[in-house]
């Protein structure tokens, strides 16, 4: 769902840059007010794991593929405002370092994958946990439904952005994005269900409190190990085009995608490494370390609360 440059008009791209910047600023202020010194490090581990998970494309029907978005998992663990920042960091690193998604389109990508996906999760998950009075079935059902809807609604937003840009008519772009991402969303829902089931079985406190939760050293080790395993598995993923690319090919606007003006680690292949498998793994490790470093630096400069 990473929109490349060329698919959106300058006006639409600028509009969503403005909206995303405003919401990210609000998110930063809200996270800062929480004064939870443990949150930034866990946000870093979470962002790194989501980044690594997004490298694992799974094949779906029709010769296309999907991958984890992760907004639902992030929202459940660290809360909506922190989740917006987690997803924003992932999307930004993907665009700036790996040229996955355009720079002009980054505002729209952040809006779709961070703002919309997190908002949908917050509404749906809160609804199910409230009517279930915090029972296990409410957490699992809410997470599953929210994960599927987060993909579906974000894809509808992307289709609308394409239509507003004149790239593809609304009656074509929106239904096409909705249909293929309804299938991709099933994968998102199943992965999220598995992740939340695991968390409920091992760290149920993460589901009941988003402030003041203690994260022991074992948590960091498990998080980093998970990210490492996902990165190592990344060369085994499906090579089929993702949902947006598939729609662009089917509807004939794939050639509108503009090449980026600079290339650092394009297509998640580390330059200078002849072995493609090794180059992919090293690229994933580099991205993981960059994301963790960003949050560690933020944690360093973040004002600490008094003892």
Q: What is the CATH number of the domain that holds 244?
A: 1.10.1760.20
Q: Is residue 5 part of a domain?
A: no
pLDDT one-digit tens code per residue, 23-69: 999 999 998 887 666 678 888 989 999 999 998 888 887 678 888 89
- DSSP string for 220-268: HHHHHHHHHHHHHHGGGS--S-BHHHHHHHHHT-GGGPPPPS--SSGGG
pLDDT one-digit tens code per residue, 57-116: 888 876 788 888 999 999 999 999 999 999 999 999 999 999 999 999 999 999 999 999
Q: Is residue 208 part of a domain?
A: yes
* Alpha carbon distance 158, 108 (integer Å): 8
Percent of the chain with pLDDT over 90: 61
- Quote the tokens at residue 203: 């760290």
Helix (H, G, I), strand (E, B) or coil at 278: helix
- Which segments of the chain does DSSP mark as H helices, in order? 10-34, 39-54, 71-78, 80-98, 106-110, 117-131, 136-164, 170-202, 205-208, 217-233, 243-251, 276-301
Confidence of residue 285 (pLDDT cuts 50, 70, 90): very high
Do residues 82 and 31 lie in contact, with contact meaning Cβ atoms separated by under 8 Å? yes
Q: Is residue 116 part of a domain?
A: yes
Does the structure show a pLDDT above 90 at 290?
Answer: yes
Q: Is residue 60 part of a domain?
A: yes
Q: Is residue 171 part of a domain?
A: yes
pLDDT one-digit tens code per residue, 166-181: 999 999 999 999 999 9
Q: Is residue 3 part of a domain?
A: no
Q: Is residue 98 part of a domain?
A: yes
Q: Domain limits at 186?
A: 10-23+40-301
- Number of compact structural domains in the chain: 1
- Reported pTM: 0.91
Q: Is residue 32 part of a domain?
A: no
Do residues 23 and 88 lie in contact, with contact meaning Cβ atoms separated by under 8 Å? no
Helix (H, G, I), strand (E, B) or coil at 101: coil
């Amino acid at each position: 769902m990473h929109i490349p440059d060329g698919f959106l008009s300058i006006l639409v791209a600028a509009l969503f840059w403005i909206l995303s910047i405003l919401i990210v600023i609000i998110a930063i202020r809200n996270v800062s007010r929480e004064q939870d010194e443990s949150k930034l490090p866990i946000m870093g581990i979470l962002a790194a794991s989501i980044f690594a998970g997004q490298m694992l494309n799974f094949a779906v029907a029709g010769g296309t593929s999907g991958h984890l978005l992760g907004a639902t998992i992030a929202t459940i663990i660290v809360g909506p405002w922190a989740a917006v920042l987690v997803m924003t960091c992932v999307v930004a690193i993907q665009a700036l370092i790996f040229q996955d998604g355009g720079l002009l389109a980054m505002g729209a990508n952040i809006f779709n994958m961070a703002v919309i996906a997190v908002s949908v999760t917050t509404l749906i998950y809160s609804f199910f946990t409230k009517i279930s009075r915090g029972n296990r079935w409410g957490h699992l059902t809410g997470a599953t439904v929210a994960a599927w809807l987060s993909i579906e609604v974000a894809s509808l937003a992307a289709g609308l952005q394409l239509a507003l840009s004149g790239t593809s008519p609304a009656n074509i772009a929106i239904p096409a994005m909705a249909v293929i991402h309804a299938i991709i969303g099933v994968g998102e829902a199943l992965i999220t269900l598995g992740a939340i089931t695991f968390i409920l079985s091992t760290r149920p406190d993460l589901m009941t409190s988003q402030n003041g939760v203690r994260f022991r050293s074992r948590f960091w080790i498990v998080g980093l190990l998970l990210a490492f395993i996902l990165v190592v598995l990344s060369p085994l993923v499906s090579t089929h085009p993702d949902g947006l690319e598939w729609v662009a090919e089917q509807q004939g606007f794939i050639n509108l995608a503009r090449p980026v003006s600079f290339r650092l680690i394009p297509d998640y292949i580390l330059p200078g490494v002849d072995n493609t498998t090794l180059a992919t793994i090293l690229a994933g490790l580099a991205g993981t370390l960059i994301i963790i470093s960003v949050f560690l630096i933020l944690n360093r400069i973040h004002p600490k609360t008094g003892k």
